[in-house]
Amino acid sequence: MKFLKLLRHLIAFFFLTIITQVGGLVWVLALFISVKYKKKKRFIFPILYLTFNLLIIPPIAKQFGRERLPIFSKNLKPRNWIYPLFFRNYVTPNLKSLLEISSKKLKQNNIQITYLDANFPFINKFPLLPHLSHNDGKKIDISFMYLDKNRKATAKKPSVSGYGTYTNPEKNHTSESCLKKGYWQYDFSKYLTFGTLNNLKLDKNGTFILIKELLSHSKTQKIFIEPHLKQSLKLNNETKIRFHGCQAVRHDDHIHLQIK
Protein backbone atom coordinates (compact mmCIF):
# COMPACT_ATOMS: atom_id res chain seq x y z
CA MET A 1 0.00 0.00 0.00
CA LYS A 2 2.83 2.40 0.86
CA PHE A 3 4.52 1.54 -2.42
CA LEU A 4 1.37 2.40 -4.38
CA LYS A 5 1.06 5.73 -2.56
CA LEU A 6 4.69 6.53 -3.30
CA LEU A 7 4.20 5.57 -6.93
CA ARG A 8 1.14 7.79 -7.18
CA HIS A 9 3.05 10.74 -5.77
CA LEU A 10 6.00 10.13 -8.11
CA ILE A 11 3.70 10.00 -11.12
CA ALA A 12 1.98 13.22 -10.02
CA PHE A 13 5.35 14.91 -9.46
CA PHE A 14 6.76 13.98 -12.87
CA PHE A 15 3.53 14.71 -14.74
CA LEU A 16 3.15 18.16 -13.18
CA THR A 17 6.82 18.92 -13.77
CA ILE A 18 6.59 17.95 -17.43
CA ILE A 19 3.50 20.03 -18.23
CA THR A 20 4.05 23.02 -15.89
CA GLN A 21 7.71 22.89 -14.72
CA VAL A 22 6.74 24.27 -11.29
CA GLY A 23 3.75 22.10 -10.41
CA GLY A 24 5.81 19.11 -9.25
CA LEU A 25 7.55 21.16 -6.56
CA VAL A 26 4.20 22.57 -5.45
CA TRP A 27 2.89 18.99 -5.15
CA VAL A 28 5.82 18.01 -2.91
CA LEU A 29 5.33 21.11 -0.75
CA ALA A 30 1.60 20.41 -0.46
CA LEU A 31 2.35 16.83 0.53
CA PHE A 32 4.80 17.96 3.21
CA ILE A 33 2.30 20.45 4.68
CA SER A 34 -0.55 17.93 4.64
CA VAL A 35 1.55 15.36 6.51
CA LYS A 36 3.10 17.78 8.99
CA TYR A 37 -0.09 19.63 9.85
CA LYS A 38 -2.56 16.82 9.11
CA LYS A 39 -4.45 18.86 6.53
CA LYS A 40 -6.19 17.52 3.44
CA LYS A 41 -3.92 17.80 0.40
CA ARG A 42 -6.84 18.24 -1.99
CA PHE A 43 -7.41 21.67 -0.42
CA ILE A 44 -3.77 22.61 0.15
CA PHE A 45 -2.50 21.87 -3.36
CA PRO A 46 -4.86 24.12 -5.38
CA ILE A 47 -4.40 27.00 -2.91
CA LEU A 48 -0.62 26.66 -3.01
CA TYR A 49 -0.62 26.22 -6.78
CA LEU A 50 -2.60 29.42 -7.42
CA THR A 51 -0.48 31.31 -4.89
CA PHE A 52 2.70 30.25 -6.65
CA ASN A 53 1.19 30.97 -10.06
CA LEU A 54 -0.09 34.46 -9.30
CA LEU A 55 2.20 35.79 -6.57
CA ILE A 56 5.40 33.83 -6.00
CA ILE A 57 6.77 32.66 -9.36
CA PRO A 58 6.45 35.91 -11.40
CA PRO A 59 8.84 38.01 -9.27
CA ILE A 60 11.30 35.11 -8.90
CA ALA A 61 11.27 34.40 -12.64
CA LYS A 62 11.96 38.08 -13.30
CA GLN A 63 15.23 37.78 -11.36
CA PHE A 64 16.21 34.95 -13.69
CA GLY A 65 15.48 36.89 -16.87
CA ARG A 66 11.92 35.86 -17.72
CA GLU A 67 8.67 37.75 -17.36
CA ARG A 68 5.06 36.67 -17.38
CA LEU A 69 2.95 37.85 -20.28
CA PRO A 70 -0.31 39.71 -19.55
CA ILE A 71 -3.29 37.53 -18.74
CA PHE A 72 -6.19 39.96 -18.71
CA SER A 73 -5.02 42.53 -21.27
CA LYS A 74 -7.40 43.03 -24.18
CA ASN A 75 -4.81 43.50 -26.91
CA LEU A 76 -2.24 40.92 -25.77
CA LYS A 77 -3.86 37.89 -24.24
CA PRO A 78 -3.68 34.08 -24.02
CA ARG A 79 -5.93 31.91 -26.16
CA ASN A 80 -7.37 30.53 -22.92
CA TRP A 81 -6.54 30.24 -19.23
CA ILE A 82 -4.57 27.00 -19.67
CA TYR A 83 -1.42 28.76 -20.89
CA PRO A 84 -0.96 31.06 -17.87
CA LEU A 85 -2.30 28.47 -15.44
CA PHE A 86 0.30 25.96 -16.61
CA PHE A 87 3.17 28.51 -16.40
CA ARG A 88 3.58 28.43 -20.19
CA ASN A 89 3.44 32.21 -20.74
CA TYR A 90 6.94 33.37 -19.79
CA VAL A 91 9.35 35.16 -22.13
CA THR A 92 12.47 37.33 -21.99
CA PRO A 93 11.99 41.06 -21.31
CA ASN A 94 12.92 41.81 -24.95
CA LEU A 95 10.22 39.52 -26.32
CA LYS A 96 7.64 40.85 -23.87
CA SER A 97 8.48 44.42 -24.89
CA LEU A 98 8.22 43.55 -28.59
CA LEU A 99 4.79 41.98 -28.08
CA GLU A 100 3.50 44.87 -25.98
CA ILE A 101 4.69 47.47 -28.48
CA SER A 102 3.20 45.50 -31.36
CA SER A 103 -0.13 45.04 -29.59
CA LYS A 104 -0.42 48.80 -29.07
CA LYS A 105 0.36 49.52 -32.72
CA LEU A 106 -2.03 46.85 -33.96
CA LYS A 107 -4.84 48.24 -31.84
CA GLN A 108 -5.49 50.88 -34.48
CA ASN A 109 -6.21 48.05 -36.95
CA ASN A 110 -8.52 46.31 -34.43
CA ILE A 111 -6.06 43.43 -34.24
CA GLN A 112 -5.43 41.62 -30.98
CA ILE A 113 -2.38 39.45 -30.39
CA THR A 114 -3.52 36.09 -29.05
CA TYR A 115 -0.64 33.99 -27.78
CA LEU A 116 -0.41 30.23 -27.30
CA ASP A 117 2.61 28.41 -25.87
CA ALA A 118 5.57 30.59 -24.93
CA ASN A 119 8.12 29.26 -22.39
CA PHE A 120 8.39 28.11 -18.78
CA PRO A 121 9.63 30.51 -16.05
CA PHE A 122 13.08 28.98 -15.48
CA ILE A 123 16.08 27.12 -16.89
CA ASN A 124 17.26 27.31 -20.48
CA LYS A 125 17.00 24.00 -22.36
CA PHE A 126 14.21 22.78 -20.07
CA PRO A 127 11.78 21.35 -22.68
CA LEU A 128 8.30 22.76 -23.04
CA LEU A 129 6.69 19.70 -24.59
CA PRO A 130 5.59 19.01 -27.27
CA HIS A 131 7.73 21.84 -28.73
CA LEU A 132 11.31 21.38 -29.83
CA SER A 133 12.63 24.88 -29.21
CA HIS A 134 10.48 26.74 -26.66
CA ASN A 135 13.16 26.51 -24.01
CA ASP A 136 15.02 29.82 -23.73
CA GLY A 137 12.34 32.49 -23.34
CA LYS A 138 12.81 33.76 -26.91
CA LYS A 139 10.02 31.88 -28.68
CA ILE A 140 6.25 32.16 -28.73
CA ASP A 141 3.34 30.88 -30.80
CA ILE A 142 0.70 33.37 -31.94
CA SER A 143 -2.71 32.76 -33.47
CA PHE A 144 -3.66 33.83 -36.98
CA MET A 145 -6.44 36.35 -37.51
CA TYR A 146 -9.79 35.06 -38.73
CA LEU A 147 -13.06 36.03 -40.42
CA ASP A 148 -16.47 34.87 -39.21
CA LYS A 149 -19.23 33.40 -41.38
CA ASN A 150 -20.20 36.92 -42.45
CA ARG A 151 -16.62 37.58 -43.60
CA LYS A 152 -16.09 40.10 -40.82
CA ALA A 153 -12.89 40.25 -38.78
CA THR A 154 -13.24 38.50 -35.43
CA ALA A 155 -11.07 37.86 -32.38
CA LYS A 156 -12.42 34.30 -32.20
CA LYS A 157 -10.21 31.31 -32.99
CA PRO A 158 -11.23 28.01 -34.58
CA SER A 159 -10.07 25.65 -31.82
CA VAL A 160 -10.03 25.58 -28.04
CA SER A 161 -6.25 25.21 -27.81
CA GLY A 162 -5.47 27.45 -30.77
CA TYR A 163 -3.66 24.55 -32.46
CA GLY A 164 -4.65 21.88 -34.94
CA THR A 165 -7.19 23.64 -37.18
CA TYR A 166 -5.30 24.02 -40.43
CA THR A 167 -5.71 26.81 -42.98
CA ASN A 168 -6.23 25.74 -46.60
CA PRO A 169 -4.83 22.25 -45.92
CA GLU A 170 -5.50 21.15 -49.50
CA LYS A 171 -2.76 23.57 -50.61
CA ASN A 172 -0.20 22.34 -48.10
CA HIS A 173 2.00 20.16 -50.31
CA THR A 174 4.81 20.49 -47.78
CA SER A 175 2.71 18.54 -45.29
CA GLU A 176 2.12 15.77 -47.82
CA SER A 177 5.82 15.61 -48.58
CA CYS A 178 6.88 15.46 -44.92
CA LEU A 179 4.35 12.76 -44.10
CA LYS A 180 5.44 10.67 -47.09
CA LYS A 181 9.04 10.91 -45.85
CA GLY A 182 7.96 9.30 -42.58
CA TYR A 183 7.70 12.36 -40.34
CA TRP A 184 4.50 11.09 -38.72
CA GLN A 185 4.46 13.88 -36.11
CA TYR A 186 4.13 16.63 -38.72
CA ASP A 187 0.36 16.93 -38.41
CA PHE A 188 0.11 15.61 -34.84
CA SER A 189 -1.31 18.92 -33.61
CA LYS A 190 -4.66 18.02 -35.20
CA TYR A 191 -5.17 15.82 -32.13
CA LEU A 192 -4.55 18.76 -29.78
CA THR A 193 -7.43 21.07 -30.71
CA PHE A 194 -9.43 20.02 -27.60
CA GLY A 195 -12.48 20.81 -29.67
CA THR A 196 -13.33 23.15 -32.52
CA LEU A 197 -15.60 26.06 -31.77
CA ASN A 198 -16.17 28.22 -34.81
CA ASN A 199 -16.46 27.91 -38.56
CA LEU A 200 -13.86 30.54 -39.35
CA LYS A 201 -11.71 31.44 -42.34
CA LEU A 202 -8.23 32.91 -42.38
CA ASP A 203 -8.22 36.71 -42.39
CA LYS A 204 -5.43 37.20 -44.92
CA ASN A 205 -5.29 40.96 -44.54
CA GLY A 206 -5.32 40.89 -40.74
CA THR A 207 -2.73 38.11 -40.59
CA PHE A 208 -0.55 39.95 -43.11
CA ILE A 209 -0.66 43.13 -41.00
CA LEU A 210 0.11 41.12 -37.84
CA ILE A 211 3.11 39.37 -39.37
CA LYS A 212 4.47 42.57 -40.95
CA GLU A 213 4.33 44.28 -37.57
CA LEU A 214 6.23 41.42 -35.93
CA LEU A 215 8.82 41.55 -38.72
CA SER A 216 9.31 45.30 -38.31
CA HIS A 217 11.29 44.86 -35.09
CA SER A 218 15.07 44.51 -35.28
CA LYS A 219 14.97 41.90 -32.51
CA THR A 220 12.86 39.53 -34.63
CA GLN A 221 15.09 36.70 -35.82
CA LYS A 222 12.66 34.44 -37.65
CA ILE A 223 9.03 33.52 -38.13
CA PHE A 224 7.75 30.08 -39.07
CA ILE A 225 4.64 29.57 -41.20
CA GLU A 226 3.92 27.02 -43.90
CA PRO A 227 5.40 27.83 -47.35
CA HIS A 228 1.97 27.90 -49.03
CA LEU A 229 0.80 30.57 -46.55
CA LYS A 230 3.91 32.64 -47.11
CA GLN A 231 3.01 32.63 -50.78
CA SER A 232 -0.73 33.27 -50.41
CA LEU A 233 -0.11 36.11 -47.94
CA LYS A 234 2.33 37.66 -50.45
CA LEU A 235 5.26 37.53 -48.04
CA ASN A 236 7.72 35.87 -50.42
CA ASN A 237 10.25 38.69 -50.13
CA GLU A 238 10.49 38.39 -46.35
CA THR A 239 13.75 36.58 -45.62
CA LYS A 240 13.00 36.22 -41.91
CA ILE A 241 10.05 33.95 -42.69
CA ARG A 242 11.48 30.42 -42.83
CA PHE A 243 10.40 26.84 -43.32
CA HIS A 244 10.75 25.04 -39.99
CA GLY A 245 11.59 21.61 -41.42
CA CYS A 246 9.79 18.29 -41.40
CA GLN A 247 11.12 17.38 -37.95
CA ALA A 248 8.76 19.96 -36.36
CA VAL A 249 4.97 20.17 -36.64
CA ARG A 250 3.12 22.05 -39.34
CA HIS A 251 2.57 25.78 -39.06
CA ASP A 252 -0.63 26.48 -40.96
CA ASP A 253 -2.53 26.86 -37.69
CA HIS A 254 -0.28 29.39 -35.93
CA ILE A 255 2.73 31.71 -36.20
CA HIS A 256 5.99 30.85 -34.49
CA LEU A 257 7.94 33.97 -33.52
CA GLN A 258 11.55 33.85 -32.43
CA ILE A 259 13.80 36.75 -31.41
CA LYS A 260 17.58 37.12 -31.26
Q: What is the pLDDT of residues 83-120, one digit of tens each?
A: 999 999 999 999 999 999 999 999 999 999 999 999 99
Give the chain's mean pLDDT. Answer: 94
More confident residue, 55 or 170: 55
pLDDT at 41 over 90: no
Residue 158 banded pLDDT, cuts 50, 70, 90: very high
Residue 132 banded pLDDT, cuts 50, 70, 90: confident
Residue 198 banded pLDDT, cuts 50, 70, 90: confident
pLDDT at 37 over 90: no
For 90, the 3-state DSSP assignment is strand
pLDDT at 40 over 90: no
Contact 40, 34 (CB under 8 A): yes
pLDDT at 160 over 90: yes
Please state the rounded mean pLDDT for residues 138-148: 97
Distance CA 75, CA 82 (A): 18
* Domain residue ranges in the chain: 2-63, 69-259
Where would I find the beta strands (DSSP E) of 75-182? 76-78, 90-91, 113-115, 139-142, 146-147, 153-154
CA angle 148, 176, 187 (to 5 degrees): 60
C-alpha distances (whole Å) from 235 to each of 66, 122, 168, 209, 259 are 31, 35, 17, 11, 19
More confident residue, 53 or 37: 53
Which pLDDT value is given to residue 169?
83
Residue 216 banded pLDDT, cuts 50, 70, 90: very high
Q: Does domain 69-259 fall into CATH 3.30.1380.10?
A: yes
pLDDT at 36 over 90: no
Please state the rounded mean pLDDT for residues 3-25: 94
| Torsion, CA 106, CA 109, CA 112, CA 115, rounded to 10 | -50
| Torsion, CA 27, CA 58, CA 105, CA 198, rounded to 10 | 10
Please state the rounded mean pLDDT for residues 29-58: 89
Percent of the chain with pLDDT over 70: 99
Please state the rounded mean pLDDT for residues 209-216: 98
Which pLDDT value is given to residue 168?
87
Which pLDDT value is given to residue 171?
86
Strand pairing class (153-154; 146-147)? antiparallel
Please state the rounded mean pLDDT for residues 163-183: 92
Residue 130: is the preceding peptide bond cis (ω within 30°)?
yes
